[in-house]
Amino acid sequence: MMPGPVPSLSRWEESSAGGPAGAASTFLRAPSVARMYDYFLGGKDNYAIDREMADRALDRAPVVARLAQVNRGFLEHAAARLAESGLRQFVDVGCGLPARRNVGDIVRRVEPSCRIAYIDNDPLVLVHARALLAAERGTGAFGGDVRVPAALLGHPGLRRLIDFGRPVALLLLGVLDFVTDAEDPRGIVRTLLGGLPAGSHMVITHTERTPQLESLAETARGAGLAFTPRDRAEIAEICAPLEPAGPYPAALPLADTADLDGPLPLAGFVGRKPG
């Protein structure tokens, strides 16, 4: 099934009787990946329906909270390394709700002129992202669905903010896990890469399939969340169009973010567009 368009905020508000309060109730009828992830990270932008589902997830697979934290740590690590290596434009796809440290906070510490585009297909994420992440010059938050990659890259606001004639760092952290095989994650990466100029990089994280996470995926699918852990070989195939830029794909946490817990069923990858 083709994913539908991402509702703009005005359509979201129009489509719900009762104004913003009605709109909120429309979106609070089901748990959201972004708000559950916020809960796992210790955030406050989540509701009872999200916490209930997140607690069920923790019952099935207690590792998920740790996965979320290490995933976020890798985002911070990769964004900082790419800024240090000279990348100045960042497109954070499936950016999630604002966290303690966001891509802009990290890369602008290296170079204040960095431009950052935050993209998500969850309208509530966009409300928060526009208010908190994209308030400064050189930043923007846009609706986009990674399952429609050409449309995502063609967003007029994104193209005004980001100069696609210069290298871009495109971040896909914890997002392809919510794209089913039928929606073709490999094709999505190829299409996104094809729209980026030479010198561009992509960062990908993906959860690995374990019996525990497979059981969690089944529960999640029952709640309408297409969580799809994959095995190492499948993740490597998704990343195959990219040239590895460092010791990747790597089991996370990396040595410099590791603690005593050891590797988790989570792979992190940084790659560049082949020249």
Ligand X SMILES: C[S@@+](CC[C@H](N)C(=O)[O-])C[C@H]1O[C@@H](n2cnc3c(N)ncnc32)[C@H](O)[C@@H]1O
Binding site for ligand X (CB under 6 A): 33-34, 37, 71-72, 75, 94-96, 120-122, 125, 145-147, 173-175, 178
Q: What are phi and psi of 165, to 5 degrees?
A: -90, -10
29: exposed, middle or buried (Cβ count in 10 Å: 0-12, 13-18, 19+):
exposed
Q: State the DSSP H helix or E strand holding residue 275, giving kind and residue range, or none if neither.
A: none
Quick one: which of 132, 127, 189 has its CA closest to 142?
127
Residue tagged 């790597």 (tokens): 250
Whole-angstrom CA distances from 262 to 69, 212, 251, 269 are 14, 17, 9, 18
Shortest gap between Cβ of 68 and ligand X (angstroms)?
Answer: 7
Nearer to ligand X, 113 or 139 (CB): 139
CB of 76: closest distance to ligand X in angstroms? Answer: 9
Our CB check for ligand X shows the closer of 129 and 245 to be 129
Which residue's CB is nearer to ligand X, number 33 or number 83?
33
3-state SS, one letter per residue, for 78-116? HHHHHHHCCCCEEEEECCCCCCCCCHHHHHHHHCCCCEE
Closest CB 74 distance from ligand X, rounded Å: 8
Q: CA 31 to CA 25: how far, in whole Å?
A: 12
Residue number, 147 or 272, with CB nearest to ligand X: 147
Q: Are strands 89-93 and 169-173 parallel, antiparallel or unpaired?
A: parallel
Q: At what angle do helices 48-60 and 33-40 cross, to 10 degrees?
A: 70
Nearer to ligand X, 174 or 271 (CB): 174
Quote the least distance from Cβ 45 to ligand X, whole Å.
Answer: 11
Q: Packing angle between helix 48-60 and helix 211-222, nearest 10 degrees?
A: 150
122 versus 208: smaller Cβ distance to ligand X = 122
Nearest approach, Cβ of residue 198 and ligand X (Å)? 25
In the complex, minimum distance from the CB of residue 251 to ligand X, in angstroms, rounded to a whole number: 17
Helices 48-60 and 64-84, axial angle in degrees (round to 10): 100
Report the nearest approach of ligand X to the CB of residue 268 (Å): 10
Q: Give 43 or 199: the residue with its C-beta nearer to ligand X.
A: 43
